[in-house]
A and B are shown apart, each in its own frame.
Chain A
Amino acid sequence: MESAAETAAQAHQKWPSQLEVWIDRRKPVAELRIRTTEILRDVARWLTTEAGLRFAGLILEQQPEQWEFRYLFYLDHKAGWIHALVHQPVEQVSVPSISSEVYAADPHEREAEDLFGVTFSGHPKLGDFVLHDDSWQESVAPMRKEFDEAAALAERAPREGWRPRTIVEAPGAFVTPIGPVYAGVTESAQFFLETVGEDVIRAIPRLFYKYRAMEKVAEGRTIDEGLLFAERFAATTAFAHALAYCQAVEAICRVKVPPRAVMLRGFLAELERFRHHVGVIQEICESTGLSVAASQAALLEEDLLRISGAFTGHRYLFGLVTPGGLMRDFAGPDCRDAVEQARKVLLKLDSLFEMLRYSSSFLDRLEGVGLISSDEARKLGLVGPIARASGIVGDLRKAQPYCNYDRLQSDEIIENEGDGFARVRVLYQEATQAVHIMGQIPPQLESGEVLAPVTPQQGAALGWAEAPRGATFHWVRLGGDGLISRYHVVSPSFINWHGFHAATENFAFQDFPIILATLGLSVAENDR
């Protein structure tokens, strides 16, 4: 199909006077600067339906003279990005909402409204998203430059009378609350299950109990401190996020990462993917109540954590990637050794999965449970293993290659049912694939440096990576002083939590933990 430049040219032909096209061939990014906001919805619709692009995220920046709304779109089979830009004057900030055309933009707009206090006209469901209505005042907009971050952490008393927004009308319908603190060793999130008794008609998640305002805290910090934030806001997939951040910074500062570091980065990313997927499989086994399988999978997860710890020094791969390359080098024999150990774990995972495939008690609880149809997955813009289990082709390693993934051989993994079992199969195949990719890297390692020097420059760029949970996008803007002036993260969990309600329609109470486990979403990654 076409590349970004061609798509941009077509857009210019359709709306000649209302939009300007700026092309940066290096990245490659085509910016469509929209002059009149009336065409924003049409442009968004055209880009996602006829031009076949996918919506990645919405970035708001409060610049000195204007507000910049940057809508990111990308091709899912060829390198290229389209950024649709809208500028608004500082006094009156309101743009039309594109959620009716691009449903995937819904959580982005809601988050922007809560944190920046801008209006998206035509959006029916603003409010109570990041800043909960029962503890924050309406007028608070923390991401604005004029917000006083140093204000003391005040204890806000909960406002009486808040009720969840319920939509089920049936005699005797009520809401069962779960959380934010609920049974087990779980992340804090709240769920409201609307039910008439036995079956749950609809489940509403209420997240952002773990909102740490990472994007606000990162403003004014150095690149190195930003790296720490990127690494640690969702530490179970630390490496992938740190990698995306580093790629953004390297794009701004025009750093060429040494080839050895590039290959090693891919190696570490796949190691993390393997460990993460085994962890999710362990959670799924535990949620279905199959204790022996859960213990066996837990053994494998711990094995991988120990392999990661022994190989890199930290079980979750902290302190490795840095803008310019890697903080430490790895010897070739050590890499091969790590691959051997990973292969041993993979053999055990194979035999475990083989047994699980024929366990009726496991399959009964997963088949047909938590169904997300491929239409819905496409509409919601889901990413990662969940999307691939619903038949959506989309993998940033192939669509927008980085870390030399285009030189490594890997298969396309797709399942079509969209239920819990399809997701387990996708996770297993991706884990196998990760080890396969890891095996290809040590022979291809070139000798040389692993770190290139980085001098901070002014500019902005997008970095991305296929994190274990899906596509993640990090937008970094560095100011003249080399400090971060805007840092926005679109995490895969943020995108995929939006699809939670699609998986939880008309299910039985007992299936709730199973659906949660098969979706494998992270609250920390969503809340940032």
Chain B
Amino acid sequence: MLFLIDAWFAVCLLGIIAPIILSETRSARIVAWFGSLASLALLSAGGDALFSRQPLDLQLWTLPELGTLSFGVDHLSGLFLFISGLIFLSASVFSGRYLERYAGHFDLRVFCIFYHSIFVAVGLVLMAGDAVTFLMGWEAMSILAYLLVNCQHREVRNPEAGYLMLTMGEAGFLAVAVALLLLAMVSGSLSFASFRSAAAFAGPDIRWAVFLLSFFGFSVKAGLAPFNRWLPRVYPVSSATVCALLSGVLLNLGIYGIIRVNGDLLPPTSVKNGLIVLTVGSLTALVGILYANRESDMKSMLAESSIENMGIVTAALGAGFVFSASHAPVLAGMAFIAALYQMMNHSVYKSLLFYGAGSIDAAVGTRAMDRMGGLIKRQPWIAAFFLAGALSISALPPWNGFVSEWLTLQTLLQSAVLSSAAVKVVFAICGAILALTAALAVTCFVKAFGLSFLGIARSEQAKQSARVPHSMRTAMGFLAALCLLLGVLPTYVIPALDRAASLISKTNASETLIPPFFLTSPERSLLPPDFTADFHNLGAQIGKGILPGAGLVVLHRGTERNPVVFAMSTSYMIVALAFLLGGSFLVLRWWLARRTQRSIRPVWAGGLSELPPELTYTATGFSNPVRVTFNAIFHPAHVEDSSEMVAQHFRVVIRRVTEEHHVLDRLFYRPLRKAATGIANTVAKMHHGRINAYVAYILLCFLTMLLIGRYL
């Protein structure tokens, strides 16, 4: 594993140096090749770390006053390294041709340097073994993210977006730094290992402070409410590669931080921590998906949808913390597996969707869904891959989103084992909110797919979209295949995730989730004895050897009247279903083709001479019912229809002007701002410019100091 990490670091370094030497035109290729190599190295390293028995511990240089800088790669880091490597791989492959469209706009060499640098920074954060390395990596990652976003600084219409991200990120960083320093204060040194061992000695106040500071500090980076207002502003102005990195890698770092500090270094002892995390996650999910429904710009919509997914991950994490604190480690393990699965799935399908949006942007030239339409005819592959991503994010089987969403909701339902009624109520409400967000997600992506790809082209650009290069489609295809695999083979993924989750839950939850006969064949005696006691005379396994996995397992439960039990693994089910459904479809089509005539006619439009695109649905119109239903949340500040008249009676224009403020701005930032300005205004009364008063202030201060000095 060490070799792989070295290889990764070396290739990244090469990736930083090479663009300085070589010409700009090669920069995109450098990104593609070196980035891919580095990613492969890193994901192998991650995979190795995930499955290895022994965590890697590496001590580097010792700095005065700051202690020893160390690396520590355990299962959790390994998982995150794997995911990051995966996304960086797809991003590298995608960017090879995608960046060419920016060739004249900004210096690709700079982009290449930043790209590889942020790769290093991400790795640094994930492999950090002590607070200093962690914070250094975090800061580097923040700044590099800002630089990547504002790379198009000459063109970007909204340079404040990147700046906002940086500022809020720094505030979060400060909170995290304070939290880690508090832990350092308790443990006496700056390494994570010492934090872990000193956790038992931390008093409740310190625990609260560390939890609140670290959770809300990391929530800025993870995109949780209310500190995620930078997300919807930053994504639309970044290129697709950067968006994929932001959502597929950097958001995960926030989650990593939360898990590392609150799950590993300072495990939760009170359910209140978990409840706060759960509530924040659920509300984030709801707000995110509601505003995603409102957007008609594809990248903004995907950004808000990322907020929703991170909310779901956090909610599952919160449930896990609650179960941990309530001494239900198996349930906690399930919850953490669900969270990690959802996070991994989100990285995969969100990157896929961002690549789709980027491809469309490159091919059509617009991101507004109101101006697309009918793209499925000219871009069938992109439509197919985008559909895979949309189905995955809508949590429909057999795609991966279904597995993680299902696991999350199932875990929340297990709240019955908890003792406190209040906790159960919170779980129930949050479960309901998450179910609502699942439904809204489907609406959102039906709109996204339907209005962009189906129907008729609504603009000239959409009618004549260009061809998308193979490498961009390959990257999308790779991720789409991954979506399918992760959805069809959960029984293999869950034990792998469990290795990472068990770090926090301290138990092996995958055994409860996966019946043993799915992992071993019935003949093997590795099955637990109580299992074989019940299910003796284990029956046949159909399909064994043809497909990966256990196929259809028929068991004989000897002690009961109805002795036969069936179980089917998902990989077998998907193949069987594909054969059955696909076969029936083909047979039906052949049979019907013989008996009926097919003719292709124009769409029935009520007798209209032609159906122009102005007379078809827009994305805004499609999402209007959501807007109307949730009016209490959207709460438009001001809706006014004004008309212009001509010749006294003839109306020529009706203008509808709507003013809206985001619910978080209304409920959180505006009161804060009002309070802050209120305090400032009150205090400002002190400064009225009269020099006599200022002298009096100095005197007052002096007297107070003397008094303090006297009595202390």
Contacts and interface: CB of A to CB of B under 8 A. Distances in A.
Instruction: Decide if A and B touch, CB cutoff 8 A.
Output: yes
B649 A172 contact: no
B422 interface: no
B647 A122 contact: yes
B606 A182 contact: yes
Interface in B570-629: 605-612, 614-625, 627-628
B542 interface: no
A168 interface: yes
B641 interface: yes
A64 B619 CA distance: 58
A125 interface: yes
Contacts of B657: 170
A158 B656 contact: no
Helix, strand, loop or mixed for chain B's interface? mixed
Nearest to A168: B654
A103 B649 contact: yes
Given A124-B646, A167-B653, A197-B625, A174 B607 contact: no
A123 interface: yes
B228 to A, nearest CB: 24
Contacts of B605: 177
Interface in B87-101: none
Nearest to A501: B651
A201 B654 contact: yes
B3 interface: no
B650 interface: yes
Contacts of A179: 606-607
A195 interface: yes
B108 to A, nearest CB: 35
Nearest to A122: B647
A220 to B, nearest CB: 33
A162 B611 CA distance: 10
B649 A99 contact: yes
A163 B614 contact: yes
Contact of A177 (B608, B641, B647, B654): B608
A197 B621 contact: yes
B623 A196 contact: no
A174 B614 contact: yes
Given A172-B370, A178-B606, A196-B621, A379 B649 contact: yes
A172 B615 contact: no
A179 B607 CA distance: 6
Given A182-B606, A197-B621, A174 B655 contact: no
A469 interface: no
A21 B602 CA distance: 61
B525 interface: no
Interface in A116-131: 122-125
A197 B649 contact: no
Contact of A196 (B610, B614, B620, B647): B620
A181 B606 CA distance: 5
B692 interface: no
Contacts of A97: 647
A277 to B, nearest CB: 30
A171 interface: yes
B610 A175 contact: no
Contacts of B623: 197
Contacts of B296: 172
A160 interface: yes
Contact of B627 (A166, A174, A197): A197
A134 interface: yes
Interface string A184-212: 00001010101111100110000000000
A289 interface: no
Given A174-B617, A197-B620, A167 B651 contact: yes
A106 interface: yes
Contact of A134 (B606, B607, B609, B652): B609
B648 interface: yes
Interface residues of A, number: 46
Interface in B286-308: 296
Contacts of A122: 647
A169 B656 contact: yes
Interface string A119-149: 0001111000000001100000000000000
A455 interface: no
A202 B652 CA distance: 12
Contacts of A170: 655-658
Contacts of A177: 605-606, 608, 611, 615
Nearest to B629: A198
A172 B610 contact: no
Given A197-B627, A198-B625, A172 B620 contact: yes
Nearest to B650: A124
B636 to A, nearest CB: 12
A169 B606 contact: no
A404 interface: no
A176 interface: yes
Contacts of B655: 168-170
Contacts of B641: 201, 506
Nearest to B296: A172
Contacts of A379: 649
A180 interface: yes
Nearest to B628: A198
A444 interface: no
A169 B614 CA distance: 13
Given A158-B610, A168-B654, A169-B656, A176 B647 contact: no
A172 B651 contact: no
Interface in A352-397: 379
A88 B619 CA distance: 53
A174 B621 contact: yes
Contacts of B646: 124
A172 B654 contact: no
B455 to A, nearest CB: 12
A41 to B, nearest CB: 11
Interface in A77-136: 97, 99-101, 103, 106, 122-125, 134-135
Instruction: Find the residue from A162, A172, A506 having the highest chain B CB count within 10 A.
Output: A172
B621 A99 contact: no
Nearest to A179: B606
Contact of A175 (B370, B614, B622, B648): B614
Contact of B650 (A125, A180, A182, A192): A125
A125 B66 CA distance: 80
Given A100-B647, A197-B623, A197-B624, A174 B615 contact: yes
A135 B610 CA distance: 12
Chain B CB count within 10 A is highest, among A135, A170, A174, A179, for: A174
B298 to A, nearest CB: 14
A511 to B, nearest CB: 15
Contacts of A124: 646-647, 650, 652
Nearest to B653: A167
A164 B608 CA distance: 12
Contacts of B617: 174
A180 B622 CA distance: 24
Nearest to B654: A168
Given A100-B649, A177-B606, A197 B656 contact: no
Contacts of A166: 614
A160 B609 CA distance: 8
Interface string B340-356: 00000000000000000
21 contacts: A97-B647, A99-B649, A123-B647, A124-B647, A162-B609, A169-B654, A172-B619, A172-B620, A172-B621, A175-B614, A176-B615, A177-B608, A177-B615, A179-B607, A194-B654, A195-B621, A197-B620, A197-B625, A198-B625, A198-B627, A201-B641
Given A124-B647, A169-B656, A201-B656, 8 more contacts: A106-B649, A124-B652, A160-B610, A166-B614, A168-B656, A175-B614, A181-B607, A196-B621
Q: Across the A-B interface, give the 9 residue pairs with the lowest CB-CB distance, nearest first.
A: A197-B624, A172-B620, A158-B609, A170-B656, A100-B647, A197-B621, A181-B607, A103-B649, A198-B624
Interface of A: 97, 99-101, 103, 106, 122-125, 134-135, 158, 160, 162-164, 166-182, 188, 190, 192, 194-198, 201-202, 379, 506
